[in-house]
Amino acid sequence: MIRNATGAMLLTAWLSFPAGAAATEWWVAPGGSGPGTERAPLGTIQAALVAAAPGDTVLIGAGVYDEAVRTVRDGFADAPITMRAAEGHGPVVIATEGKVLRVDHAFFVVEGLVLDAMYAPDEVIDVSANGHSLILRRVKARRSSRDCVSVGAAADVRIEDSVIHHCLNPAGGRTDAHGIVAGAVRRFTVRRTEIHTFSGDAIQLNREHTSASPGWDDVRIEECRFWLAPLDRAENGFPAGVVPGENAIDTKVSPDSARARISIRHTMAWGFGGGLIRNQAAFNLKENIDAIVDGVTVWDSDIAFRLRGPTRSSPNGAWVRIQNTILHDVSVGVRYENDISNLRVWNTTVGRGVVRPFQAASSRGDGLDVRNVAILGADLPSEAAGPSNLAVGSEAFVDSAAHDYRLTAGSPAVDAGSAIPEVVTDRAGVRRPVGRLHDVGAYEWCPSCSSGPPPAGERAVRP
């Protein structure tokens, strides 16, 4: 119901919006009371969303807005509704004690905003099953006592160039509050996004399954950074010094769903150790999934990969392929459980500070395929006993002390591997093989490359 003259005017403007008309910019500024022009902006973001038609843009001026925002109508595929910070006007913060943004409509873009739930017991961003074709770009979502971003059974949702942090639920000593939790999503992408300081997982994919929502599929995690660290101060019920979270990625899939596909590429994860749970792992990949892990780096963690086969509740077990990956400074590189089958570890480098490259847990290892793995050390574990795997010294790498695991010209790993048709490039994008044969480890030796990648263990700057 429209309760004021301004609202009635905005609704009338939208109802009279002719097909094919030029898109409109609706301006918002703190304290505004005008019709929504740049010189006479509206005073609330929600009023602008009431007015905005497909193709329109809501431009938000710098300042702090205490309001809960909800989408009002769908955009179109070629004319989404966009809500973004006005360029050159300073930061835009939407801070309210509760859910900050609810997305119930399709073809919507959110860009350049800071969304702060002020540790209310609600999500910062809640995307319903109707929120298809959503883009969250250059968004900061923070300070929730629940999951920071919750996505229902929506399709074609993309989160990119964003930061999600301080999702902390202290109930019972520690209760899950995830950076992102997703149900029966389809074609869901998280790209170039940093997630840290949470009491659940950076990303949890749930086993939601109904006749209308057959489970998640086609999830892509690309060029992301996930990390935990001891809290430097008490925060929302957690004492200083605690590592509150669990995993970087945790997968759950109903056994009644089709096998869910996920790819994790060129992503870094660190700090998944010393927490409040047992067997803490950066990547906890389990249940009915088909996962490709390519070009990932894990360090400073108890377990890099915890990979789980069939169980009574999930009789299918995970299929996992790890390639072009670097592990260092972890207690366990790959923990494989429950007689997992279809586990492939190819062209991976196990660097300094790895106590156990592999650990079996209720698993005979019959389903392991380990090839072209380079391990810094004197011996190979039994899982890597194949002829294409090598134990090498530090001279095999450019600078293992700095965790730069590119190969040197005289490295024994050069031209020592077997051909694996599925691994067509190395972690820097160099096509395999450069020489006569494939190299062992995450990198091909490439003398003609003009410049190499940064060290694999390069630390990310905390926001």
- Strand residue runs (E) in 92-236: 92-95, 101-103, 108-111, 114-120, 125-127, 134-137, 140-144, 149-151, 155-160, 163-167, 180-182, 186-191, 194-198, 203-205, 217-222, 225-227
Q: In which band, very low, low, confident or very high, does the pLDDT at 22 lie, cut at 50, 70 and 90?
A: confident
First to last CA, the chain: 42
pLDDT digits (tens, 9 = 90+) for 280-301: 999 999 999 999 999 999 999 9
For residue 381, whether the previous peptide bond is cis, meaning omega lies within 30 degrees of 0, is no
pLDDT at 1 over 50: no
Q: In which band, very low, low, confident or very high, does the pLDDT at 462 lie, cut at 50, 70 and 90?
A: very low
Average pLDDT on 426-441 reads: 96
Q: What's the confidence (pLDDT) of residue 459?
A: 43
pLDDT at 18 over 80: no
**C-alpha separations of 416 from 149, 349, 412 in Å:** 45, 14, 7
Q: What's the confidence (pLDDT) of residue 211?
A: 58
Least confident of 177-186, 210-219, 257-266: 210-219
Average pLDDT on 377-386 reads: 97
pLDDT at 201 over 90: yes
Average pLDDT on 343-370 reads: 96
DSSP calls for 10-45: HHHHHHT--TTPPP-EEEE-TT--SSSSSSS-BS-H
Least confident of 206-210, 331-335, 392-396: 206-210
For the chain, the structural domain boundaries read 62-407
Q: What's the confidence (pLDDT) of residue 183?
A: 94
pLDDT digits (tens, 9 = 90+) for 302-348: 999 999 999 998 899 999 999 999 999 999 999 999 999 999 999 99
Q: 4 vs 242, which has greater pLDDT?
A: 242
Q: What's the confidence (pLDDT) of residue 420?
A: 98
Distance between CA atoms of residues 342 and 171, nearest Å = 38
Average pLDDT on 435-445 reads: 96
Question: Which amino acid belongs to residue 443?
Answer: Y
Distance between CA atoms of residues 371 and 423, nearest Å = 11
Average pLDDT on 128-137 reads: 98
Radius of gyration of the chain (CA): 24
Q: In which band, very low, low, confident or very high, does the pLDDT at 208 lie, cut at 50, 70 and 90?
A: confident
Q: In which band, very low, low, confident or very high, does the pLDDT at 395 lie, cut at 50, 70 and 90?
A: very high
pLDDT digits (tens, 9 = 90+) for 136-191: 999 999 999 999 999 999 999 999 999 999 999 999 999 999 999 999 999 999 99
pTM value is: 0.93
pLDDT digits (tens, 9 = 90+) for 60-88: 999 999 999 999 999 999 999 999 999 98
Distance between CA atoms of residues 317 and 11, nearest Å = 52
Q: What is the largest CA-CA distance in the chain?
A: 79
Distance between CA atoms of residues 101 and 264, nearest Å = 27
Q: Which CATH class is domain 62-407?
A: mainly beta
Average pLDDT on 409-437 reads: 96
pLDDT at 234 over 90: yes
Q: 318 vs 254, which has greater pLDDT?
A: 318
pLDDT at 10 over 50: no
Q: What's the confidence (pLDDT) of residue 453?
A: 52
**C-alpha separations of 255 from 184, 285, 312, 438 in Å:** 14, 15, 10, 38
What token pair was written down for 135? 């883009």
**C-alpha separations of 244 from 168, 241, 371 in Å:** 8, 9, 36
Q: What's the confidence (pLDDT) of residue 255?
A: 87
Q: What is the chain's mean pLDDT, rounded?
A: 92
Distance between CA atoms of residues 343 and 368, nearest Å = 5
Asked if residues 249 and 224 have their Cβ atoms less than 8 Å apart, the reply is: no
